[in-house]
A and B are shown apart, each in its own frame.
Chain A
Amino acid sequence: MTVPEVLKATVRIGATPAEVFPYFVDPVLMIQWIGEWADLCPEPGGLFALDFAKTPVRGQYLEVEPPRRVVFTWGVAGKDSLPPGSTTVEVTLTEDGPDTVVQLVHHDLPTEEFDGHLKGWTSMLDLLAHLHTGPQPGEAATDLRRPAPGGHA
């Protein structure tokens, strides 16, 4: 069974790296694109705390080099399977003409045999379950038994 060891994503944005960079270090800007609440201390060793799809994502900044590079750790508070600090997200901003190319690599995701994989991914899966169904106001974080709202195909 192949499991991705890393997740990669790239996007081209019509702005300079200096304009894009704050969206990775300023909590007010960050929650515009990921998460509902953030507490960020963007310096090496500083806190990275993001509530995302009702999941408390916790870690710390490892590298903060405006406006080209930011690295932070990513785990889930209270989950042995993906503890805070257990995985690393590396973001590189490269200027290309009037645009910025953002490259993101999520390292160190659990990849072992099935058991480790299953346990390791469960926290990420919980998070995905909420992204997929769309967070509902007042919905219990662990209630996955609720029928899919709407039922539209």
Chain B
Amino acid sequence: MSAARAGARVGSPDRGDAADAVLRALADPHRRQILRLVRGGELAAGQIASHFDATQQAVSHHLQVLARAGLVRERRVGARRLYALDPQALDPVREMLAELWPSALERLKYVVEQDQKNKPADPTRAGRKQ
């Protein structure tokens, strides 16, 4: 049912791309953990890395992914890089979520109305042709 598949896409391409970057960033548990660490305020990269067994390099990579998705803001103070949560990055995702049911119901409308059209005439409703 390709029409229904196509209808399953939600969001405009631009907003979809932004949401996609956020979703990919959120898909990793380490990155979600980083977001929990920095939601209370700025932390230096080293402080963040100290919460993980992973190498500083690996943590650095996660921070870059989060920064590219807009989920964290990076600020340099001397040699230090400070990171803080930017919750506004979740807005496009939230908008996609808000479209979940409206787009499903649009498919429902399409399907019901097609089924009504294709249904053999019901003599109790349409009257008999004789």
Contact = CB atoms under 8 A, between A and B. Distances in A.
Nearest to B106: A11
A64 interface: no
Contacts, number: 125
Contacts of A7: 97-98, 100-101
Contacts of B5: 134-135
Interface string A9-43: 11111110001100100000100111000000000
B107 A34 contact: yes
A17 to B, nearest CB: 11
Contacts of A11: 102, 105-106, 108-109
B19 A132 contact: yes
Given A3-B94, A129-B23, A131-B100, A12 B109 contact: yes
Interface string A104-141: 10100000001100110110111111011111000000
B90 to A, nearest CB: 8
Interface SS of chain A: helix, strand, loop or mixed? mixed
Contacts of A132: 9-11, 16, 19-20, 23, 96
B121 interface: no
Interface residues of A, number: 46
A68 to B, nearest CB: 16
B121 to A, nearest CB: 14
Contacts of B66: none
B108 A153 contact: no
Contacts of B113: 13-15
Interface residues of B, number: 45
Interface string B22-38: 01101100001001100
A70 to B, nearest CB: 13
A19 B17 CA distance: 38
Nearest to A105: B101
B97 A121 contact: yes
B93 interface: yes
Contacts of B4: 32-33
Given A12-B109, A134-B5, A106 B101 contact: yes
A76 interface: no
